[in-house]
Structure 1
Amino acid sequence: MAHVVLIATGGTIASSSGPDRAAVARRTAGEILGSIGPCDVEVQGRDLLNVGSYLLGHRELRVIAEAVAEEVARDDVTGVVVTHGTDTMEETAFLVDLLHDSDKPVVLTGAQKAADHPDSDGPQNLREAIVVAASPEARGCGALICFAGRIFAPRRTRKHHTIAPEPFRTGDGGPIGRVGASSVRLTARPVRTARLDRPDHRFDETRVDVVTLHPGADAVLARAAVHAGARAVVLAGTGAGNGNHAVLEWVSEAVRTGKVVGLSTRVAEGPVVPMYGNGGGADLTRAGALNLGGLPLYHARLLLALLLSQGVSVTQQTLTPYI
């Protein structure tokens, strides 16, 4: 029989309402597992955190990644499921995937409706995630997100809807497979990149900020981020990754003083394409901003934080395999 470890970190799947009707993560791994009924897979629960994912910082993401690595290293474990809030599941899944060096599946799932909701989606999502984690079909795929019967690779997957039962979408693509009550069907396999080293405590305090551009934006927020200790700033440019003259001046200044500037886009899908001058993306990249390609904005922020925390010299060449 396949043996899956469930690492519980909180989120809506573990939440129930208090007297004020506000949902708070409070249910344990055992309680979550108790909601799914009989299972053909041996599942062992592990309580790691019990918070909404909107409360997570770099330290907590590192702790989750370390726990995954510990369980995957066990000879008796077939795969791992991580229950997690949907707010920042995309970041944790992407980080785990960057670090995962085993063929064993790691599957993140959660819920959009709290555990005490009469129509909670948590139990079905968890049952399906366990099926994926136990399946030979999912071996070698790295970390995955399993939600509402769909299986996603993390690299370009984001939460695209706040409350819909199918909240995840992969930019410029779609799910790589589907899962039913007892079967997994993959229609594509993710392209895996070279594994990165697991972070240490330096990652916890590595600050990388995002500054979104808009009509009338200047460089005040970017300068404030650097003043507050940001090792890097990711610009969420307009369109295909554009700025303006004030931002261009700041990029030149920041790069000259050794700061890392990443150029992303505030647009939901599509890559950065530096094709405009007069303060546009072509000028920003010529000034030293690093093109973050089609990597989603907050994935890119996390990647920069991971590399910088490990003393990696972040260049366009360094980033290319991951974007």
Structure 2
Amino acid sequence: MLYQKSAQKMFALLGFLCLIASAQAADPKLANITILATGGTIAGTGATSTTTVGYTAATVGVQSLIQAVPEMAKVANVSGEQVFQIASENMSNEHWLTLAKRVNTLLAQKDVHGIVITHGTDTLEETAYFLNLVVKSRKPVVLVGSMRPSTAISADGPINLYNAVSLAASPEAAGRGVLVAMSDQIHAGRDVSKSNTTMVDTFRTPELGMLGYFQGGKPFFYRQVTRKHTVETEFDVSALNALPNVEVSLAHANVGGVAVDAFVAAGAKGIVHAGVGNGSLPAKTRPSLAAARAKGVIIVRASRVGQGILARNGEANDDELDYVVADTLSPQKARILLMLALTKTNNTKDIQRMFYTY
């Protein structure tokens, strides 16, 4: 506890020094990057320098995060805003809408050249994909986090943040959709996922592949994204105050229809069925899914496997059942696309087109 209090005092002092530094004139030769802080482990503190689990997330403010990495001033003119201060398991639809609107407002300004978002790792991949669908700019947007709190020995947050700012300031990052910068790697927001509970290299794109590397703080790209994103999408959250209720039902051995029935009773407008294998529909679950669809609930078949294309009319007759398939999206990302799709239409053919487009 004494260590944690000392660390908090240290970060408060760093924040004060950062305010002084921010008053200095910006370098006109460098890009202007705004860091939007939302909390998470990258802003966390532990009881000791060896505390890497059981720490407290979201305690360090954005100005302290910036001041802790003074080297960023060599690659960009950096400013910061504290949008939220939460652990990312608490990220909600309302948080997403607020964040997206702020990102779009900032990127519409000529003097803002890119955005970095500090974020907890638990739902970072979901926020990245949501923003990938609703940001209306080709300017770089980069999400970054850490697996170790800021007070830990060999904390990964500072180098991740430095790389993220370098990426957001790079002209090569423009037009590539929302990116994720972790562990010296660049990933596409659509495809990346957290793959390990605690390891620092947890963010992976196993089959489709990451987009590039960082070396010496400089981004190097080797792959381009092909699915439409950002300015190419049909989604607009500027006038939205809420998103449709969409839930995920997980399949497993002996699963029935209890979860699906409960979601329908709670008013779900869509259900993503995270099936086994190629999105198989267990016999005990099929009646509940069919009944939900008959009531107007949109059903998307996904897979809990985590990789691969979900075959339409493969493990189920989707045409006959009037279901949608998730393509390569994970259940949690399929939920995001379905929510946004439902702000536009209830037509399953049109929604299926969206899943093959984005």
Same structural fold, with TM-score higher than 0.5 when normalized by the shorter chain: yes
| TM score, norm. by length of structure 1 | 0.93
Q: Which position in structure 2 is the counterpart of 1:249?
A: 287
- % identical equivalent positions: 29
Determine which of 65, 70, 74 is the counterpart of 2:105. Answer: 70
Determine the C-alpha separation between the residues in 2 that align with 1:59 and 1:98. 16
The alpha-carbon distance between structure 1 residues 181 and 105, as it changes in their structure 2 partners (threshold 3 A), is same
Deviation of 1:283 after TM superposition, in Å, equals 3.8
Q: Which position in structure 2 is the counterpart of 1:22?
A: 55
Question: Is the counterpart of residue 260 in structure 1 residue 295 in structure 2?
Answer: no
Structure 1 unmatched ranges of 5 or more: none
Q: For residues 23-62 of structure 1, what are the structure 2 equivalents within 5 Å?
A: 23-38=56-71, 39-40=73-74, 41-62=76-97
Q: For residues 1-323 of structure 1, what are the structure 2 equivalents within 5 Å?
A: 1-17=30-46, 22-38=55-71, 39-40=73-74, 41-193=76-228, 194-199=232-237, 204=242, 206-274=244-312, 281-283=315-317, 286-308=320-342, 310-323=343-356
The alpha-carbon distance between structure 1 residues 314 and 35, as it changes in their structure 2 partners (threshold 3 A), is farther
What letter matches 1:199 in structure 2?
V
Determine the C-alpha separation between the residues in 2 that align with 1:171 and 1:285. 31
Coordinate RMSD, CA, aligned: 2.0
Deviation of 1:205 after TM superposition, in Å, equals 5.3
SS at match of 1:156: coil
Superimposed CA distance per residue, residues 254-277 of structure 1 (whole angstroms, 9 cap, x where no aligned partner): 22221111100110211212565x
| TM score, norm. by length of structure 2 | 0.84
**Cα pair 1:291 1:316 within 8 Å, conserved:** no
What letter matches 1:250 in structure 2?
S
The alpha-carbon distance between structure 1 residues 285 and 248, as it changes in their structure 2 partners (threshold 3 A), is farther
Deviation of 1:168 after TM superposition, in Å, equals 1.1
Structure number with larger C-alpha Rg: 2
The alpha-carbon distance between structure 1 residues 203 and 164, as it changes in their structure 2 partners (threshold 3 A), is farther
The alpha-carbon distance between structure 1 residues 132 and 17, as it changes in their structure 2 partners (threshold 3 A), is same
SS at match of 1:46: strand
**Count of matched residue pairs:** 318
The alpha-carbon distance between structure 1 residues 304 and 108, as it changes in their structure 2 partners (threshold 3 A), is same
What letter matches 2:328 in structure 1?
G
The alpha-carbon distance between structure 1 residues 54 and 37, as it changes in their structure 2 partners (threshold 3 A), is same
**Cα pair 2:245 2:269 within 8 Å, conserved:** yes
Deviation of 1:90 after TM superposition, in Å, equals 0.6
What letter matches 1:313 in structure 2?
N
Deviation of 1:197 after TM superposition, in Å, equals 2.7
Deviation of 1:183 after TM superposition, in Å, equals 1.9
Superimposed CA distance per residue, residues 35-62 of structure 1 (whole angstroms, 9 cap, x where no aligned partner): 1123211101111111110111100011
Determine the C-alpha separation between the residues in 1 that align with 2:277 and 2:146. 32
Superimposed CA distance per residue, residues 170-219 of structure 1 (whole angstroms, 9 cap, x where no aligned partner): 25211101122342210011124232333267563522111111111111
